[in-house]
Chain A
Amino acid sequence: MNDKDKILIIGAGIAGMEASLLLAKAGKSVLLVEKSPITGGNTIKNEDSFPNLECSTCMIAPIQQDILQNPDIDVMTLSEVKDVEGEAGDFNVTIDKKARYVSLTDCIGCGMCYEPCPVTLKNEWEENLTEKKAIYVPCEGSLPNVPAIDPDHCLNISGKKECNACAEACVFGAIDFSEKNSEVQVNVKAIIVATGFDLFDAGKLSNLGYGKFPGVYTSMEFERLFASNGPTSGQLLLRDGEKSPESVAIINCVGREELGYCSGICCMDSFKYSHFIKSKLPEAKVYNIYSDLCMPKKTYQNFYKRIKDEGGNFIFQSSPQQVNIKESGGKIKVNLAEGNGAPESLSVDMVILENAMVPTKESEELGGILGIELDSKGFFLTRNENVGTVETSRPGIFVVGCAEGPKDMQNSVIQAEAAVGRALSLNKIKGKVKE
């Protein structure tokens, strides 16, 4: 590869960002395409990360900042790959770039434009636990710290009304309602897919009561509830916005049986939640209902010990399918299966469902666009005749992070670095595969 060869990275989560920075360090030019308006992926939704309970923002924000300031990395937000032609060393890629309607160079992120906007919407990024305006950043601390406008709901752009409220509030003239979506063509030598994961729809399991009882939360909802830049500024409040839970049951393995795999990180997440609750509500009772404790790294079992010492109660159930959740007298009743020394039922204020990691909803379509195969679970397949690889079924295209299957931050970063190594020695690989 030549010095200024361009490499495309899809997805600006931790894996995509690590790969971008490392390639830029190697002197390559990087095009980082991200479908959302901000970088950071799922990792920036966490307040602290396991097992050391390090502040995630403190870990990730400098990386996000480096990405945005690096002259060799072109970050293209609100963009998706639509077509890929060619072969390793010479891919022609078409990218759909949606209009942001706010200039990334002129906006300084002062936030004066939100308040005047008359349109209020649910904030999906915050798991709908709070609201946003039609001109918004998903949360405080978003990077790039520049809002985007939702064109479907903005009165001006959608043509419903002549509204200029945000543009009038912006003294930098950064808002441009006339910006158009565009199509970008680019030639790249290699592609690294780092599109991350979604979470299993907990509403599919009727016995767990998600969507039916307000006290039942998904793991991501709880993660945002605890986050200091989240909907409650980190206060652990139930949906009424007033009461804190006095007792919480965490249910692991939600979706594991239905999907046929263990996500490998939820146990650690559940330990973290137990610690979070105890740290803010020391009197609260926490029950951790599990079927197998999966804590596969050299430091992970120590974290479990710590949580047990903090008073986490661990209750074995062979599957969440045995658990039945009902509401009774203002409390949530968690009915458990008999035997194994478990109590018959628990009466709690809050239930957190540790729902499994699943392929993103766009995976199948993206797989078709990239011409790469999926595995039987819907994640991107690595060449399975070749153990220990980040190469996909199409030479020159690599897959890293949770797009390849559920994993923790450490393994995502390892794969990202591995893909950089492979991409940098592409000539060597190409020689083997196809010249």
Chain B
Amino acid sequence: MSAKIGVYICECGPNIADNIEIDAIIDTLPSLEAFQNEELVVKRFKLLCSNEGKEYLEREIRENEYSHLVVAACSPRDHDSTFINICKKTNLNPYLYKMVNIREQCAWMIPDKEKATRKAIQYIRGAIGRVLKQSELFEKELDSNPDVLVIGGGISGIETALSLAGEKRKVYLVEKSAELGGKAAKFKKLLPRQGGSSDIIGKKIEEVIKDENIDIFTETELESAVGFFGNFEISLNCSRDDRSETEFTVGAIVAATGFELTDAAKLSQYKYKKDNEVYTSLEIEDMIKSEGKVTLRSGKEPESVGLIHCVGREEKGYCSQICCNYMLKLASFLRKQSDSIEIKDFYRDLCLPHQQDQDFFEEVRGGGTEFIRTADVKIKGTHIEYTEIDKKKNEADVDMVILSPAMEAGKGTENLAELLNIPLSETGFFKEEHQQLNPVETSIEGIFITGACRGPAGISESMLQAQAASGKIAARLIPGKKIVPEVKVSEILEDFCVGCQTCMEICPYGAIIFDGERGVCVVNEAVCRGCGNCAGSCPSGAIRAKHFTSPQIYREIIEAIR
């Protein structure tokens, strides 16, 4: 059966009509040899995007029972969705339609009317050629599981669990250690702008334990996660014997595995070892939490303390963004502990990016902490040698040195990235799908990253990221609602596949698996996002990106340049 193609040319008022001979197009197209076997209906209308135009087009599609549709008008950016919606209202599959831009790319570009008309004809011919090679595609609805797996029981994981758990949504909270709370539970005091209270994390742990929609697995790690957004099959490795149910399905996964401090002992300029009076920030935090004060190993309170910023920053290649504030907090604590204590703060650049931070800095400086801007700091025990910003060399002796080592991704990060098939950034943290526009989701749809495992973050930021991931999950994984995966996905023609697995390496979404038994690769359509990279990479041409197949593209080009 030959095709019946409707070709509609929009005048766009004078925008197209004045610069292109639309009647010449109407005369030319049906006489073209290339389409002699098809039935071509070519018509013009003054403004197809107007309500009148939309009604006209809908009526035309119904009355003429077209098999294919081409609309030549403005930029698809403006109105592709307008015409797709009209197709959807009729019985015409929208994947048998194509829009051509003869306004921006012809009428507005080429002052010579004849040349503009010729170019428009070429474009429309290309589109007719293409639609003839297009196939119908159908959106499928899939059931989805609203439950969520949260990996990491620190502040970010806890906040995620609390934000999401509800009557219709269960949250599985997995923590590898025996206790919930993570690093944040170590802090006795927060920043003044954060209310300064220590109780936030304690209260949240209580809430999580009480919440019957949150299932907590301590001493547990992820063993495997297989599936896609809406349907991930999870298997846990639990070292406790009171948990038997360690396999279940969730719709989304949140990694909130936190950070570790970089090992100061590996940085030669600090000669850090655990038996002298040099401490790391978290050691001091432990001390404050357990003793209520900062003391030397002898139990005596120090009379002078040197605070050292940016430990490991150069080596890691990034600023950890919370240490300046952290050191201010410590200086403020030490000042409260002793009126007479001498505090020297050795910093390079102050990174105080919140609008209330500088007030705190002024308060601490006013309280008698000496801030020394340095280009370089070395320590030999508690003897500090430093170079000031104007290159002047200087030195100081103190009773105690406190280092603020850089934050780095926790030890299990790499392993978890592999299990979840999500990428790492060059700094070792998990990588977001898009730094600015999709900052808490990964390249795998349905897998999220929050808190310090996605980059240095303080408590407030970790909580906000947790709420952001919760927002993205709550908006898209609605209990009882089905999800519609992308239909323009890749397919592998198994007769041609030699099982070389090149496509698996190329696929950024982990959508392709290798079927060892049959020796071929297989696309998981629910994971594939239709980028087409695999189709381009396949050495045997066995992969087809639906709606962007080679015959479609070739035919469009052949007709356009014929």
Contacts and interface: CB of A to CB of B under 8 A. Distances in A.
A408 B468 CA distance: 16
B50 interface: yes
Interface in B462-500: 462-465, 467-472, 474-476, 478, 481
Interface string A1-31: 0000000000000000010001101110000
Contacts of B463: 387-389
B455 A260 contact: no
Interface string B326-365: 0000000000000000000000011111111111001000
Given A22-B471, A387-B200, A428-B166, A108 B436 contact: no
A194 to B, nearest CB: 14
Contacts of B240: none
Contact of B439 (A375, A406, A413): A413
A26 B476 contact: yes
Contacts of B352: 261-262, 292, 294
B467 A298 contact: no
Contacts, number: 207
A65 B77 CA distance: 8
Given A59-B436, A410-B435, A421-B468, A108 B389 contact: no
Given A260-B359, A297-B318, A301-B317, A418 B425 contact: no
B81 interface: yes
A419 interface: yes
Contacts of B86: none
Nearest to B362: A260
Interface in A89-126: 105-106, 108, 110, 112
B468 A415 contact: yes
B355 A292 contact: no
B351 A375 contact: no
A415 B464 contact: yes
A302 interface: yes
Interface in A387-435: 387-390, 405-411, 413-422, 424-425, 428
A200 B465 CA distance: 29
Contact of A425 (B166, B436, B462): B166
A340 B321 contact: no
Contact of B355 (A105, A261, A389): A261
Interface stretch (B9-17, B26-34, B395-403, B410-418): B9-17
B429 interface: yes
B163 A425 contact: yes
A54 B470 CA distance: 27
Nearest to B441: A417
A297 to B, nearest CB: 6
Given A27-B478, A296-B321, A406 B355 contact: yes
Contacts of A301: 313, 317-319
Contacts of A110: 12-15
A387 B78 CA distance: 43
A419 B468 CA distance: 7
Nearest to A421: B471
Contacts of A23: 475
A376 B357 CA distance: 12
A385 interface: yes
B261 interface: no
A386 B462 CA distance: 14
B148 to A, nearest CB: 12
Interface residues of B, number: 71
A420 B437 CA distance: 15
Contacts of B390: 339-341
Nearest to B407: A298
A110 B197 CA distance: 58
Nearest to A25: B475
Interface stretch (B187-195, B222-230, B503-511, B532-540): B187-195
B427 A390 contact: no
A260 B437 CA distance: 30
Contacts of B362: 260
Contact of B356 (A106, A256, A376, A419): A376
B152 interface: no
Contacts of A297: 318, 321, 455-456
Chain B CB within 10 Å, residue with most, of A264, A293, A388: A388
Given A49-B436, A417-B467, A262 B357 contact: yes
Interface string B428-464: 0100000111111000000000000001100111111
Interface string A297-309: 1111110010000
Given A298-B427, A414-B465, A385 B195 contact: yes
Interface in A233-271: 256, 260-265
Contacts of B427: 298-299
B47 interface: yes
Contacts of A417: 440, 467-469, 471-472
B23 to A, nearest CB: 19
A295 interface: yes
A22 B14 contact: no
A298 B464 CA distance: 17
B285 interface: no
A316 interface: yes
Given A298-B318, A341-B391, A414-B439, A108 B74 contact: yes
B175 interface: no
Contacts of A69: 81
Contacts of A263: 353
Contacts of B147: none
Nearest to B359: A260
Interface string B1-29: 00000000000111100000000000000
Given A261-B354, A410-B439, 17 more contacts: A22-B472, A22-B475, A26-B475, A27-B478, A108-B15, A108-B74, A261-B356, A263-B353, A294-B351, A295-B319, A296-B319, A299-B318, A299-B427, A302-B426, A387-B459, A405-B354, A409-B437
24 contacts: A22-B472, A108-B13, A172-B13, A261-B352, A262-B352, A262-B353, A264-B354, A293-B349, A294-B351, A339-B390, A385-B195, A387-B190, A387-B459, A387-B463, A406-B355, A408-B436, A414-B464, A417-B467, A418-B467, A418-B471, A420-B474, A422-B163, A424-B475, A425-B163
